[in-house]
Amino acid sequence: MSSSTRRRRFLRTAIGLAAVLVLSVAGVGAWFYNRLNSNITTFDAGGVATERPPAPVPASPGAQVPVNLLLLGSDTRDNGNNSLGGGDEGVGNSDTAILIHVYADHKHAVGVSIPRDTLVTIPSCKLANGTWTKPRTDQMFNSAFSVGELAKGNPACTQNTVESLTGLRIDHTIVVDFKGAAAMSEALGGVDACVPNDVNEYGIHLKKGMQKLSGQSAVDYLRARHGIGDNSDIGRMKRQQAFLSSMIRKVQGQGFSLTTLLPLADAATQSLTVDEGLGTASKLVDFARSLSDIQLSDVTFVTAPWRFAGDRVRLVQPDADTLWKLLREDRTLDGHTTAGTGQVTSSPSATATTPGATAPLTAEQASAPITVVNGVGTSGLAGTGSKALQAHGFQNIVLGANEPGKQHTEITYDPARKAVAAQVAAVFPGAAMVELPGADSVTVTLGADYQPAGGARPEAVTKPEAASAPSPGLSPAPGATPASPGVPSTMPTGIAENIRGADTDPCANLTFG
């Protein structure tokens, strides 16, 4: 692998959250907003999937709901970024993704790092010419950002992939590039970071130990993989989590005058690409203010439960699906709920279907071809799904070949059969719906998240060994209710061993070994 290729391999979204937090520090005039508005770049909302997980419903009128924010790092070399990242201008990639789940109380948050090499299904994504790709299985997670080979990447495709993987609806997506990383750290006067060892490779020079990093050195620390720590992407994510924690600490602890805030916000917004919901300075500030009550001690980072699969990564099951389930239910990582704080009251796994999806089947819908696929590999799962469909009136059902390794239940269909697919989705709440032009049947691929109504799965499930440690910074709220059935009251090992509290020693837990 060439030096330039290695140098391309990174940026962190760590700065992204800090950028959002900074904008909440002070109220400023219209002139400030106008200046920032001209900086902000948005990506096309037309690339976001039409079939998505449902939005949470407030417990009462005016109550707050959970918020999911996807932070992505782009290594694009356009617009002067090659001076920081090296190499030539070319296709934007993203080796960094952190899913921030803000709980309904808006006082706690969990940041989930998703390894770049994780093998996932990339759903249908929009290309620059307006056409949509076909879903692809067993793809590296970071390749979603490169679909279409756009200079600044394809954040909508990554958002679609995360929603399909987790069953969580992403409310906002923020992409930050090399220049944003450098500018933000410089504007803060440097960020305290712990370097595991001396680094003198690939043009990167860092000294071992605690130090303030800014500009180029901050970019190098966050994107380097080889020659630092354990030389892995997993170790790199742990450094990103520690660096982001340090940035949040700096932002929360440092007061800003307008003379400090303006150049900081100006530099940050010039380097951000956001969804249209955050496409103005006022929207960014309003969103930032909604997060202002979150203290560093109430933020937890976790790497999605993983294991190596050759030179790639697979998520560990059922631990990964337990993690997504906990977040969908707005529960802490040890299975508790922040009751009374405005959490969702409807079933978090209930899917949004087209109006009338639960109406009685027509004769044509009842006879439509349906294929049920066992995506887990355990005996009897497809048969159980088939019986559920028969109970709802479907008559033309066949079982397909097993396709083990699916984390989330998925329904694929030709656009002409969308109404049938919506009826099928009503039988499998929470399933992702994916248009697949030319499909000769509506196909249900049952994932590890599938739970038959009213009973256990057909196979025996061996629960993972539970860790006894509570979730750092996310202890149950006073009067919190115990975990719901099927949610462990303590964390599965795959979650517990990948956690770091945001207020943890910045030199601790920087490698996976």
> At 138, which CATH number?
3.40.630.190
Residue 478, in any domain of the structure: no
Residue 16, in any domain of the structure: yes
pLDDT for residue 96: 86
> What digits encode the pLDDT tens for the residues 320-330?
999 999 999 99
Tell me the pLDDT of the chain averaged across its residues.
Answer: 77
**Nearest CA to 422 among 352, 350, 356, 357?**
357
In the listed set 446, 467, 486, which residue is the last one of a domain according to the structure?
446
Which range among 17-26, 113-122, 309-318, 434-443 has the greatest average pLDDT? 113-122
The DSSP output letter for 145 is: G
**Residues 221-230, mean pLDDT to the nearest whole number:** 84
Residue 15, in any domain of the structure: yes
Confidence of residue 476 (pLDDT cuts 50, 70, 90): very low
One domain for residues 297 and 381: no
**Nearest CA to 410 among 400, 425, 392?**
425
Residue 8, in any domain of the structure: yes
Of residues 339 and 384, more confidently modeled: 384
pTM: 0.67
One domain for residues 424 and 334: no
One domain for residues 283 and 370: no
pLDDT for residue 437: 82
> What digits encode the pLDDT tens for the residues 237-287?
898 899 888 888 887 776 544 555 566 677 777 777 888 888 887 787 778
pLDDT for residue 40: 83
**Where does residue 393 rank: exposed (0-12), middle (13-18), buried (19+ CB within 10 A)?**
middle
One domain for residues 392 and 341: no
For residue 174, pLDDT beyond 60: yes
Q: Is the distance from CB of 103 to CB of 330 less than 8 angstroms?
A: yes
pLDDT for residue 30: 59
State the Cα–Cα distance between residues 227 and 430, nearest whole angstrom.
Answer: 43
One domain for residues 177 and 240: yes
> What digits encode the pLDDT tens for the residues 36-51?
788 888 888 899 998 8
One domain for residues 296 and 188: yes
Residue 251, in any domain of the structure: yes
b (16+ CB within 10 A) / e for 224-233: bbbebbeebb
pLDDT for residue 471: 36
For residue 173, pLDDT beyond 60: yes
State the Cα–Cα distance between residues 250 and 432, nearest whole angstrom.
Answer: 39
| Preceding omega of 476 cis (within 30 degrees of 0) | no
Query: How many residues are there in the chain?
Result: 513
Q: Provide the domain limits for residue 160.
A: 3-305+330-345+497-501
For residue 382, pLDDT beyond 80: yes
One domain for residues 117 and 174: yes
> What digits encode the pLDDT tens for the residues 413-472?
988 898 899 889 888 887 888 888 888 999 999 988 887 764 444 443 333 333 333 333
pLDDT for residue 357: 37
Quickly count: other Cβ atoms within 10 Å of residue 309's Cβ: 14
**Residue 430's CATH number:** 3.30.70.2390
pLDDT for residue 494: 87
**Residues 171-185, mean pLDDT to the nearest whole number:** 84
Q: Specify the DSSP element, H or E, that contains 250.
A: helix 233-253
- CB contact set of 112 (below 8 Å; sequence gap of 6+): 98, 99, 100, 101, 301, 302, 303, 304, 323, 327
Residue 485, in any domain of the structure: no
One domain for residues 166 and 293: yes
One domain for residues 337 and 420: no
Residue 323, in any domain of the structure: no
**Residues 103-108, mean pLDDT to the nearest whole number:** 91
Of residues 12 and 433, more confidently modeled: 433
In the listed set 403, 427, 446, which residue is the last one of a domain according to the structure?
446
One domain for residues 339 and 369: no
Kindly list the distances between the CA atom of residue 299 and the CA atoms of 29, 110, 329, 343, 474, in Å, as whole numbers in the listed order: 31, 6, 18, 18, 8
Range of lowest pLDDT (217-231, 243-257, 295-309):
243-257
Handedness of CA 466, 469, 472, 473 (dihedral sign): positive
One domain for residues 61 and 157: yes
One domain for residues 278 and 129: yes
Q: How many domains does the chain have?
A: 2
In the listed set 446, 471, 488, which residue is the last one of a domain according to the structure?
446
Residue 297, in any domain of the structure: yes
The DSSP output letter for 141 is: G
